[in-house]
Structure 1
Amino acid sequence: MDSILLGLNEVANLNVILAILLGALIGVTIGSIPGLEPAGVMAILLPLSFSMAPLAGVMLLVGVYGGAWYGGAIPAILMNTPGTPVAVLTTYDGYPMAQRGEGKRALSIAYTSSFVGGMISVTSLVLLAPVLAKVAQKFGSAEFAMLALLGMVFVVLAHRKHVPAAVIMLGFGLFLGSVGLDRSFNSQVFTFGQTWLLGGIPLVPVVIGLFAMSQAFVLLSKKGNDAHVTRLEGEGYFSGIVELLRNKMTVARSAFLGVIMGLLPGVGEFGSQFFSYTLAQKFSKDPDSFGKGNPAGLIASETSNNAVTASVMVPLLAFGIPADALMAMLLAVFMVHNYVPGPTLFAERPEFISGLYISLFMMNIFCFVYLTFATKWMVNLTRIRGRFIGAFILVLGFIGSYSQNYQVSDALIALFFAGVGYVLRKNDIPAIPIILGMVLGPVFLTRFRQSMGISEGDLTIFITRPISLVLLSITILSIVVYISSKVKERKSATAA
C-alpha cells in the first residue's frame, strides 16, 4: 500500500502527466499516418527524454510506443493500409467491414480490443516483473551472459525468412558495440586512431538514423501525390464493447498469447498477432468468413498486439535485458538517470516502479477515451502527403542527433546510418538486430569475461550452474529446432 501511495505521489506531478498525455497523443497521431513508425519518432524524442525527470522521460517514449498501436488501426481499417507494421492483420477484417459501411463499428472494436489488451498487459507487468526480479537476484555473471546470448539468438530466429541477414546484422551490431576504449585492458578497440571514437559509437544517433531518418528517405523517394481520401461511415462508437462480450474466449486467448509473446525477446507483436489470428479462425464456427470482415479476426489482431506493449517491459525491468530495439531506447533513458533495471531497482526505487505502473494504466485510458471521441478529426491525418512528413522527420532527426552532445560527429553518424537503414529497408533486411547487438553484445562480453575470471578460464561454469544451464539449453534447443524445420522444408520442397 505504501508503494502505491508513493507511486501516486510520483504521478501527481504536472510534468509526468503532461509527458503521459503528450506521448500518447504523439503515438496515436503517428499511428494514424501511413508510412510512419513509432521507432523513428521515439528515436527523435530520445534526446529530449534525457533532459526530463526519469518517470516523465520513460512515459514520453512509452506513450508513443503504446499510442501508435491504437492509432495504427485507423488507416488499416479505412484505407487498407497499416498505420504501423503490426496492424497488417487488422486490415484483413477491418477493411472489409469499412467497405460494407461499418467503419465506425470496426474502429470501435479495434479501440476496445486494444484497450482490453493494453490493460491486461499492464496487469501482467505488475504481477510478473517483481516475481522475475526476485529470480534475477539469484543470477550471477554466468546467468546474465547466457540470458544475453538467449536474447540475441531469439532476435535472430524471430526473423524466420531473413535469418542469415539477421545474423549478419547482429554481427554488425556486435562490432559497433565493441568500438571504443576497453576498460578491462585499457586498450583501444577499432578506433583507428580517431579520438572521437574513444567513447564508442553512440546509440542515439544510430537509432535515429536507422529508424527515423531512413524512413524519411523512403517517404521522400515516393513520387506523385500519395495523399488519401478516406470516408468514415456507419454508426456506433461504443458497439465494440458488445462485440467483445460476444467473443470473450477470443479476447482471453489473444491477450494471453500477447502477454507470453511479449516476454520472449524478438517475438513480440508479430508472433502474438499471427498465433492469435490463426487460433481465432481455427476455433471459429465460421472460419471461412475470416478475411472478409469477421469481427473476431479484428479482435484477435488488436487485442494481441496491445497485450505485448507492457509485458515486453518485464525482461527489461526484471533483468535489465531489452527485448527489442524500442526497449533498448528505454534502457538508455534508465541509464542516463542512473536507474539500473534489475532486482535493485525494485528495492531502491519502489516509488518509480509504482509510478510507472499507474502511468501505464493512465496512458491506456487516455488513448481509448481520446480516440473514441476524436476519430472524426484524426481521419484527416491520413491525407497528409508523405514527402512533407519525410522532410519534417529529416530535419527533426538532425536536430535530435546533434542536440544530445552538441557534436557534429553525432549528426554525421545519424546521416550515415540513415543511408544504411534506407538500403536495408529497400532490400527487406531487418535493422533491429543491429541495435540489439549494440546493446546486448557488451552485456554478453562483460559478463562472459567476469565468468571466466571467476572460474579461472573453465567454460564448465556455464553448465554447472542450474539457471545458466537451463538458459544455455533453451538457446541450443531453439537453434536445433530452427535447423530441423529448415531441413524438413527443403526435403518437402525437393519431394514436390
Structure 2
Amino acid sequence: MTDLFANLWLGFSVAAHPYNIGFCLLGALVGTLVGVLPGVGTVATVAMLLPITFGLPPVGALIMLAGIYYGAQYGGSTTSVLVNIPGEATSVVTCLDGHQMARQGRAGAALAIAAIGSFFAGCVATVLVAALGVPLTSIALLFGPAEYFSLMILGLIFAVVLAKGSVPKAIAMILLGLLLSMIGSDLETGAGRMTFDIPELSDGIGFANVAMGVFGFAEIIRNLEMSQESRDILQGKIKGLMPTRQDLIDSSGPIVRGTILGSLLGILPGGGAVVASFAAYTFEKRIAKHPERFGRGAIEGVAAPEAANNAAAQTSFIPLLTLGIPPNAVMALMVGAMTIHGIVPGPQVMTKQPELFWGMIASMWLGNLMLVIINLPLVGVWVSLLRVPYRILFPSIIVFCCIGIYSINNSPTDVIIAGMFGIFGYWLSKHEFEPAPLVLAFVLGPLMEENLRRAMLIARGDATVFLTRPISAVLIGISLVLLAIAMLPMIRKRREEVFVEE
C-alpha cells in the first residue's frame, strides 16, 4: 500500500508539470470534439496526430493521445442525446433513452448525468488501473481466442435481449450485421468477399457509414413525414439544464454497477467498451422494477452505459501498460506511439520507466476532472441547439455528416453508402426492426471472425474447443440460457407489453 501511494505521488508530480497538464487538456478537448462531430472516429484522429508526437516528449505525447481516447467517450454521448446520432460505437446504446429525454425537454439532465457518470467511472477505473493492473492482467491472460469468441457471442445475445420487438427480428439484425462486417478483403488470403468487383468496397464498409445511415439519416427521413409542429426534436419546454435530486438518486446505482461491469470488460481485447455499454444497459433493464420505462427516456438508460464505456476505456490501458498487448485499435496506435519514442511496451515499462507508467495513470484522473469542467458548462450550449428550427438544424446535420464521412477516406462513395443505409434504416424503423443489434454485430464481426479462425487453427479444426475450455463453455452456456429465456412464451408476451408504444 505504501508503494502504491509513493508511485501515485510520483505519477502526480509528473502529470502536474505545466507541459503535461497542457497536453492533457489538449487531448481532452480534441477527444470531446472528436466524439461530438459525427464521422470523425477516435482511431482516425489518433492516427492523424501520430506524426505530430515525433517532436513531443514521450510522456506528454502519450498523455495527449490517452486524453483523446477517453475524451471521445464523453463527447460521443452529446450527439447521441441531441440528434440520435452516436458519435462513437460505444454511444449507440445512449441513443435509446438519451434522445427520448431530449425530446421531453430533459437533454440537459441527460448530458449532465452522462458527464457525471463518466467522471465517476473514470476516477474509479483509474484507481483500479493503479491498484489492480497486474492481477487483472493475469485474469485477461486466461482468455484465449476461444474465450474471446464466446465473450463476443454473449455480447451479441445481450443485444438481442435489449432490442425492442420480437427476438427473431433482433437475431436477423445481428446476422445481417455480421454479414455486412464480412464485406471487403479476406483476413488471411486478401481475396475480395461480397465486393461485387467494386474497388471502393475492397476495404469493407466503415462504421461511420453504417451508424450515420441507420441512426442519423434515417432519423431525418422519419422526421420528414411528420407534421411541421411535431418535427422539432424538442416536444415541450426545457425542464432544467441540471439533473434533479431524484435524477441523481435514480442514477447512482446504475453508475456504480456500470463502472464495475465496464472496468472488468475493458481489460479484455476486442470491443470491450462496446460490449460493456450494451451489457450495462441490459443489466439495468433486467433488474428494473419498471422495465417498460427503458427506451422512453429512463435516466438509468443513460447513466449505466456511459459509466460502463468510460470505465472500459480507462481499464483498456491495463493490458497495454502491463503486458504490451493492445486490447483495441486505439491502443494499437498507442503501441506505435511508444515505439516511435523507443519505449518497449510491456512489464518492463513499470520498472524501467516508472515516471511514464505512473504519470499516464495520474494524468487520467486529471483528464477526467478536466472533461467534467469542460463538459458541464457546455450543457447549456448543446441544449440550446435544440431550439434551432427543424428547417435549419437537420440540413446542417446532413452537411456535417457528409463532410465527416467524406473526410475519413476522401471518398464520395462513402457518402453514397451512408445515404443508402439511411434509406435502409428508415425501412427498418417502418417494419419495427431495431438497428442497435445490427451496429453491435457489425463492430464485433471482424474480431469474432479473427478469434474463430485462430481458435480453430489452434484446435486443428476441432469445433468442440469452444465447449472443452471451461471459461468458453460457461460463456456459451450463459448465452444459450439468456436466449432461451428471451424466447419463452411468457417472457415474449411480457416483452411485447413492455415495448408497446403508448
- Structures share fold, TM-score greater than 0.5: yes
Aligned to 2:375: 367
Per the alignment, in what secondary structure is the counterpart of residue 369 of structure 2?
A: helix
**Alpha-carbon spacing, 1:141–1:411, altered in 2? closer, same or farther (3 Å):** same
Shift of 1:392: 0.6
State the alpha-carbon separation in 2 of the partners of residues 491 and 279 from structure 1: 12
State the alpha-carbon separation in 1 of the partners of residues 386 and 81 from structure 2: 15
**Alpha-carbon spacing, 1:310–1:48, altered in 2? closer, same or farther (3 Å):** closer
Aligned to 1:401: 405
Residue 278 (structure 1) aligned with residue 294 (structure 2): no
Residue 467 (structure 1) aligned with residue 471 (structure 2): yes
- Counterpart among 40, 48, 52 of residue 51 in structure 1: 48
Partners of 1:209 and 1:397 within 8 A in 2: no
Runs (5+) with no aligned partner, structure 2: 1-6, 51-64, 84-93, 266-274, 321-326, 338-343, 350-355, 497-502
After TM superposition, the structure 1 = structure 2 runs for residues 263-412 of structure 1, keeping only pairs within 5 Å, are 265=276, 267=278, 270-271=281-282, 274=285, 278=289, 304=304, 307-313=307-313, 333-334=330-331, 350=357, 355-369=363-377, 371=379, 375=380, 380-412=384-416
Shift of 1:16: 4.8
After TM superposition, the structure 1 = structure 2 runs for residues 2-401 of structure 1, keeping only pairs within 5 Å, are 2-4=10-12, 12=20, 14=22, 16-18=24-26, 20-21=28-29, 41-44=37-40, 50-52=47-49, 54-55=65-66, 57-67=68-78, 85-87=96-98, 117-128=117-128, 130=133, 132-159=136-163, 161-225=165-229, 226=231, 243=245, 252-260=252-260, 265=276, 267=278, 270-271=281-282, 274=285, 278=289, 304=304, 307-313=307-313, 333-334=330-331, 350=357, 355-369=363-377, 371=379, 375=380, 380-401=384-405
Shift of 1:300: 6.5
**TM-score normalised to the size of structure 2?**
0.67
Partners of 1:180 and 1:197 within 8 A in 2: yes
What is the CA deviation profile of residues 183-220 of structure 1, one whole-angstrom value per residue up to 9, with x for unaligned ones? Answer: 42443322223333222223332233233333333345
Residue 436 (structure 1) aligned with residue 440 (structure 2): yes
What is the CA deviation profile of residues 454-485 of structure 1, one whole-angstrom value per residue up to 9, with x for unaligned ones? Answer: 1112223223322222222222222233233x
Shift of 1:238: 9.4
State the alpha-carbon separation in 2 of the partners of residues 412 and 68 from structure 1: 22
Partners of 1:273 and 1:305 within 8 A in 2: no
Aligned to 1:30: none
Per the alignment, in what secondary structure is the counterpart of residue 482 of structure 1?
A: helix
State the alpha-carbon separation in 2 of the partners of residues 309 and 454 from structure 1: 32
Aligned to 2:61: none
**Alpha-carbon spacing, 1:435–1:232, altered in 2? closer, same or farther (3 Å):** closer
**Alpha-carbon spacing, 1:436–1:259, altered in 2? closer, same or farther (3 Å):** same
State the alpha-carbon separation in 1 of the partners of residues 494 and 28 from structure 2: 52
State the alpha-carbon separation in 2 of the partners of residues 85 and 207 from structure 1: 14
Shift of 1:394: 0.8
- Counterpart among 444, 451, 459 of residue 455 in structure 1: 459
Aligned length: 422
State the alpha-carbon separation in 2 of the partners of residues 337 and 8 from structure 1: 21
Shift of 1:438: 2.2
What is the CA deviation profile of residues 387-445 of structure 1, one whole-angstrom value per residue up to 9, with x for unaligned ones? Answer: 32110111112211111111222222122112222322344422222222222122122
What is the CA deviation profile of residues 271-297 of structure 1, one whole-angstrom value per residue up to 9, with x for unaligned ones? Answer: 4665686399xxxxxxxxx9xxxxxx9
Shift of 1:60: 4.9
State the alpha-carbon separation in 1 of the partners of residues 158 and 336 from structure 2: 26
State the alpha-carbon separation in 2 of the partners of residues 153 and 65 from structure 1: 24
**Alpha-carbon spacing, 1:183–1:251, altered in 2? closer, same or farther (3 Å):** closer
**TM-score normalised to the size of structure 1?**
0.67
What is the CA deviation profile of residues 306-343 of structure 1, one whole-angstrom value per residue up to 9, with x for unaligned ones? Answer: 544523546866689xxxxxxxxx95655566679xxx
**Alpha-carbon spacing, 1:23–1:428, altered in 2? closer, same or farther (3 Å):** farther
Partners of 1:143 and 1:468 within 8 A in 2: yes
Per the alignment, in what secondary structure is the counterpart of residue 185 of structure 2?
A: strand
Q: Percent identity?
A: 22
Partners of 1:70 and 1:114 within 8 A in 2: no
Q: Which residue identity lines up with residue 385 of structure 1 in the other structure? A: P
State the alpha-carbon separation in 2 of the partners of residues 428 and 14 from structure 1: 48
| Superposed CA RMSD | 4.7
**Alpha-carbon spacing, 1:171–1:354, altered in 2? closer, same or farther (3 Å):** farther
Partners of 1:177 and 1:200 within 8 A in 2: yes
**Alpha-carbon spacing, 1:477–1:390, altered in 2? closer, same or farther (3 Å):** same
Partners of 2:277 and 2:305 within 8 A in 1: no
Q: Which residue identity lines up with residue 86 of structure 1 in the other structure? A: D
